[in-house]
A and B are shown apart, each in its own frame.
Chain A
């Protein structure tokens, strides 16, 4: 079964610093991978998705992720954090008619 593991339940950065949220996948076939963001008391919003077209995927709000097959990773990055980036981030993998989420990483941005 396909699954994703997010390393680090909580990441704290200063405003303007690099954001790096880690996600590793487990899949016997090429995976379809996603990053979602959830703000308090809201649903999930798609940040970006990997569907094998390109290994470097650019998303909304300045986020991007790189698919690395050799490392089975799909880490999310943003060069400069904003206060508005504070939220919960979920990595997800789709397949077999469903979508499964990682445990989530809470991003805190300090002024």
Chain B
């Protein structure tokens, strides 16, 4: 069983809706990540939080808004999305910041988002 929990597993939303994806880990990890994965493609990094501070934003559109309320939780707020934003959104955590190059990522099972 994965130790990174993502909710909801499936989400269908219209382009005018506001929704949120949630991620939780209790492994004491201090780095958390959001990745976007389209079908038959590798995960693409969106955001990295290190010690609850946003450290990487890969030029993601502002309709995606991350939030890290504490070291165990990571949210992704969604607003005014486009159909092309439909994808699997993966959350991950690591024991140390990958700046040291030693951290392995632990992934959740993902939230599959469909934008109508």
Q: List the interface of chain A (C-beta within 8 A of B).
A: 31-32, 34, 36, 41-46, 49, 51, 90, 94-104
Contact with A along B83-108 (1 / 0, CB 8 A): 00000001010000111011111111
Q: Is the CB of B99 within 8 A of A97?
A: yes
Q: List 15 A-B contacts (CB under 8 A).
A: A31-B101, A42-B110, A43-B92, A44-B107, A94-B101, A94-B103, A95-B101, A97-B48, A97-B99, A98-B48, A98-B98, A100-B45, A101-B42, A103-B41, A104-B41
Q: Assuming the A-B contacts A102-B42, A104-B42, are A43 and B107 also in contact, with contact meaning beta carbons closer than 8 angstroms in the complex? A: yes
Kindly list chain A residues whose C-beta atoms are within 8 Å of the C-beta of B56: 97-98
The answer to whether A103 touches B42, judged by C-beta atoms less than 8 angstroms apart, is: yes
Closest to A43 in B: B107
Contact for A94 among B40, B50, B98, B107, CB less than 8 A: B98
| Separation of A88 and B51 alpha carbons in the complex (Å) | 31
B residues within 8 Å of A by Cβ? 2, 4, 31, 33, 40-43, 45, 48, 50, 55-56, 90, 92, 97-99, 101-110, 112
A43 and B97 within 8 A (CB): no
- Say whether, besides A43-B107, A90-B42, A51 and B99 are in contact (CB < 8 Å): no
Contact A42-B109, Cβ < 8 Å, known A100-B45, A104-B42 = yes
CB closest chain-B residue, reference A94:
B98
In whole angstroms, how far apart are the Cα atoms of A32 and B55 in the complex? 20
* Chain A residues within 8 Å of B108, by CB: 43
Q: What residues of chain A lie closer than 8 Å to B104, measured between beta carbons?
A: 34, 46, 49
**Closest CB of chain B to A17's CB: distance in Å?**
24
What residue in chain A is nearest B50 (Cβ atoms)? A97
Contact A43 B45 (CB under 8 A): no
Q: How far is the CA of A97 from the CA of B92 in the complex (A)?
A: 13
B4 to chain A, nearest CB (A): 8
For A32, what are the chain B residues with a Cβ–Cβ distance below 8 Å?
101-102
Q: In the assembly, what is the distance between CA of A97 and CA of B101, in Å?
A: 8
B31 proximity list for chain A (CB < 8 A): 97
CB distance from B106 to the nearest CB of A (A): 8
Known A-B contacts A97-B50, A97-B55, A101-B43; A44 and B103 likewise in contact (beta carbons under 8 Å): no
